Chains A and B, each alone.
Chain A
Amino acid sequence: MVQKLEYLRESPSQTAGPYVHIGCTPNFTGIEIYGNDLGVSMKTGTVKGQEITIRGIVFDGTGTPLRDAMIEIWQADAAGLFASQNETRGTSDPNFTGWGRSPGDMNTGEFCFETVKPGAVPFVDGRMQAPHITMWIVARGLNMGLHTRIYFEDEADANSADPILSRIEHQNRISTLLAKKQSDGTYRFDVHLQGPHETIFFDI
């Protein structure tokens, strides 16, 4: 016998179910107990950097939009700093939370984030990563939240040097991680859970 490793196991995940909005965006469902739903706005005042809008829809394997998902994004500010207690490199933009949460549109399922273009953030080996946003998706039918990343199609040079994007074996799938600029200036980032355009999801 040897000594025991006294580690605990992460709590098993369970689906957020069809009523995640009751718990996480109650005002959206008409339950008014708190003030505004958390994550509705990522800006608390005038923010630094380029302000952008990101819209998208999460599709299932039949091409049907999910209308019961909850999408969260987390990102650095325009200078590459996070509004987090674990940020030790400097102080982030005080008017930018870096975190957004969207229940999606009641009818179309489209999510929308009004945010800023993130600055670059270092990878574990010190190399700079291309500007990106961390996305987390939960919904009925997902046994565990899905992590992915939003990169930007118009950051070609940074993307080609990115330590993660450059190591992806199936380079033809990288486009699933790129937000595409629309004629109206907003970015489009649709997510496909299955199918020929299945988004790359991360075990991170």
Chain B
Amino acid sequence: MSPTNPQNRRGGFVPRDRDWQPDALTPAYKTSVKRSPQAALLSFPTSLSEETSPVFGHSMLGALDNDLTLNYARPGESAIGPRIIVHGRVLDEMGRGVPGALIEFWQANAGGRYRHKKESYLAPLDPNFGGCGRAITSEDGSYEFRTVQPGPYPWPNGMNDWRPAHIHFSVFGHGFAQRLITQMYFEGDPLIQRCPIVGVLKSQEAVDALTAPLDMHRTTPMDSLAYKFDIVLRGRRQTYFENRKEGM
């Protein structure tokens, strides 16, 4: 290795807290039964292979990538449904903002229907709604986008299971070890407590961590309500003693 420089002196990523994160096998969410690995995971400290990650530049974004009300709409039209702004910050476990993080999000339309050929729910498609968007966090880790509030939808699991309204998030930080996909729920939704997918979370605290509060400070009067959703990625240890040893 070349001589260590200050950039290189950070330690590895803090291990995932597997007591906090959901287990692989969660029988109430039936699809997990035949898709969950059964052997123990192999634990290793992160190396460069996981401490590096692809870089996504703001230049790749189109002007409407973070506006789902418009990015699939015909000129002069927009998606149907309650208009909302979703905003928040991407942070690491040490509370530092993560700049330059790529966030991709997708969701059902206001009626609870996805634009997908395997979708079987009979709620109508909205011709002006595609259902995906993306953003890159700014210097302090913040992001925002505009969309319509997604509807709840039924799904084949139990005989009468419904997903609460939710938005799916995929997040890239600065290391592939941080790679995360999760879902955002909406404050006050009575379906949250009934959902087998929410039910894989191990504590009310974990459910709360994915539930976005209504944020009246960020609404646009006469236009959009707002919800705040912060996302926390794994953090890298800052180690003093490791500095002494080359290549650690």
A residues at B contact (CB < 8 Å): 6-24, 26, 29-31, 33-34, 38, 60-62, 64, 66, 68, 72, 74-76, 82-90, 97-99, 121-126, 129, 132, 134, 136, 138-147, 149, 164, 168, 173, 193-194, 198-204
Contact = CB atoms under 8 A, between A and B. Distances in A.
B32 A143 contact: yes
Contact of A13 (B65, B119, B181): B181
B186 interface: no
A164 B53 CA distance: 20
Interface string B10-43: 0010011110111110100101111111110111
A142 B24 CA distance: 6
A125 B46 CA distance: 11
A129 B247 CA distance: 13
B106 A14 contact: no
B132 A10 contact: no
* 8 nearest CB pairs, A to B: A23-B106, A141-B31, A84-B52, A126-B247, A203-B41, A141-B35, A99-B54, A82-B52
A19 B44 contact: no
Interface of B: 1-2, 5, 7-8, 12, 15-18, 20-24, 26, 29, 31-39, 41-56, 62, 64-65, 71-72, 91-95, 100, 104-106, 114-119, 130-134, 168, 170, 174-177, 179-183, 197-198, 200-201, 206, 209-210, 231-235, 246-248
Contacts of A22: 106, 114-116, 130-132
B35 A202 contact: no
Nearest to B129: A31
B35 A23 contact: no
A8 B37 contact: no
A146 B37 CA distance: 9
16 contacts: A10-B20, A11-B180, A11-B209, A11-B232, A14-B182, A18-B118, A19-B116, A23-B104, A29-B116, A31-B72, A74-B53, A84-B52, A136-B176, A138-B181, A141-B36, A173-B39
Given A142-B32, A194-B38, A86 B51 contact: yes
A34 B64 CA distance: 9
| Residue of B24, B52, B132 with most partner-chain A CB within 10 A | B52
A187 B31 CA distance: 29
B190 to A, nearest CB: 19
A142 B21 CA distance: 12
Nearest to A74: B176
Contacts of B175: 86
Contacts of A121: 47-49
Contacts of B36: 141-143, 193-194
Contacts of A9: 17, 20, 93, 209, 232
Contacts of B24: 142-144
Contacts of B72: 31, 33
Contact of A201 (B37, B46, B198): B37
A11 B22 contact: no
A143 to B, nearest CB: 4
Contacts of A143: 21-24, 26, 29, 32, 36, 200
Contacts of B62: 33-34
Contacts of A17: 168, 183, 197
Nearest to A33: B71
B20 A12 contact: yes
A12 B21 contact: yes
